[in-house]
Amino acid sequence: MSTRWYPIYQKGGPQLRVFLPNFWLKLIKPTTEQPANIVQFSCSMQMTKFDIKNYLEKIYNVNVVDVRTRIAMGKTKPDPGKGYIVKEEDEKIAYITLPKGEVFKFPDLFANEMKPEEERDKALKEAKEGHNKFLEKNKNRPSLPGWFNI
Amino acid sequence: MSTFAKIGGITRLLANSSISKVNNTCKLRSLSTTPCRRELMEFFDDEKNWGVQEVKSGRSWKSDELRLKSNTDLHKLWYVLLKERNMLLTMEEECKKETRLFPSPERLDKVEDSMKNLETVVRERNKAYHLLETGEKGERPRKLETNVLGLHYKYKMSEHPIPKHLNTKWKKQYEFYKYDKEVEMFREKLNEKNYLAKKKQHRREFNHVIGLLNRFPNMDMEALKQQYPEVDIEKAKNSRKYGGHFEPK
């Protein structure tokens, strides 16, 4: 079931089918070290273990051996500005076991990220180029304002 | 059958590059190929978009465009959007954890917007189908109910396996209005509060209109009437606040 409303299921009735599921699933980096064939997900609170298994198998073509879920309680802490106590949302976390021999490693998404110096140089270069272009355009029309254009 | 065999043969031949040139001359429909199975890597963006500042993207699907699509197409598009949203959520979460800026966060809004539009289109079709077949909309029925505090709300009805009078759980969960002295008092006070607020608003608008008339005597009266339909302009003109501190002509 997705979070939508469906008619009640009674014995002998037709099987309930979800045509447009609106569940979301996030693959998250495990905080503690896990075996190589275990993948950690954060999912919609309404999802059951069966939902997660079917979701991954039917939509993503991932073979799932086992699903375990837990609900992580959101942190309670004082609001940074106001000081009153606020609680973060609870989230459901699912641990998926892949079949024996299959391995998943969470990729390093920021490996080929630009360094701050490179970024700064790039921005400076772009600004210089823009300025040169502007000068080039206004070379033959002195004393005209920069916004004057056709 | 024969075409199938042909296509099968050609796909086999295509693997051999030396012979594939010969087959290009054949009149064939473009081969439909399924995208490669990336499985769990579908939860991540393209590798070229990792760690970049900006990711260019198009606009969201409009409902008018989606209305032209067949049901199967919409069904397929839903899953594409669902996967895209999961991917974006995953990337956003990872960026948050690594204290980086998530590049082009408007992508998520676009996907959500498309999903919303798609759902409205599917719902429209569903309604039309139900109206044609059964004479009802086929939506979840709702009823105007009064809760324990005497306030009206739309109660979403649902099916139950046992009748109402036997369903103790339902009875506990949904408490509807029964006569209560204190609730009546509360309702009276609430009504008074609402009435006073309305009156105050009306008075404020009335005075504002007088102010406008004083400042702009040659104003378009039709426009004024349209903007403040509640205010009686003739009455406003008779007010002692109307007219400046000078002798009338």
pLDDT of amino acid B16: 40
Amino acid at A116: P
pLDDT of amino acid B2: 38
| Beta partners for residue A87, in sequence order | A76
- pLDDT tens readout for residues B65-83: 999 999 999 999 999 999 9
Residues A64, A100: Cα–Cα separation, whole Å: 10
Q: How many Cβ atoms from other residues are within 10 Å of residue A126's Cβ?
A: 10
At B138, is the pLDDT very low, low, confident or very high (cuts 50, 70, 90)?
confident
Q: Is the pLDDT of residue B10 over 60?
A: no
Judged by CB atoms closer than 8 Å, whether chains meet at A29 and B160 is answered as no
Q: Under DSSP, is residue A25 helix (H, G, I), strand (E, B) or coil?
A: strand
Cβ B33 vs Cβ B7: under 8 Å? no
Residues B137, B131: Cα–Cα separation, whole Å: 5
pLDDT of amino acid B30: 62
Statement: A25-97 belongs to CATH 3.40.50.1100: no
| Beta partners for residue A95, in sequence order | A40, A68
**Cβ contacts of B53 on chain A, cutoff 8 Å:** 114, 119
Residue A69 has which token pair? 């879920």
pLDDT in tens, chain A (150 residues): 467 777 788 889 888 888 899 999 999 999 899 999 999 999 999 999 999 999 999 999 999 999 999 999 999 999 999 999 999 999 999 999 999 989 999 999 998 888 889 889 999 999 999 999 988 888 888 888 878 776
Q: Is the pLDDT of residue B35 over 80?
A: no
Q: Is the pLDDT of residue B163 over 90?
A: yes
Percent of chain B whose predicted confidence (pLDDT) is above 70: 84
Residues counted in chain B:
249
Domain ranges of chain A: 25-97
Which residue of B44, B95, B158 is in closest CB contact with A5? B158
CB-defined contacts A:B, below 8 A: 78
**Cβ contacts of A51 on chain B, cutoff 8 Å:** none
- Closest-CA residue in chain B for A104? B40
At B249, is the pLDDT very low, low, confident or very high (cuts 50, 70, 90)?
low
pLDDT of amino acid A112: 83
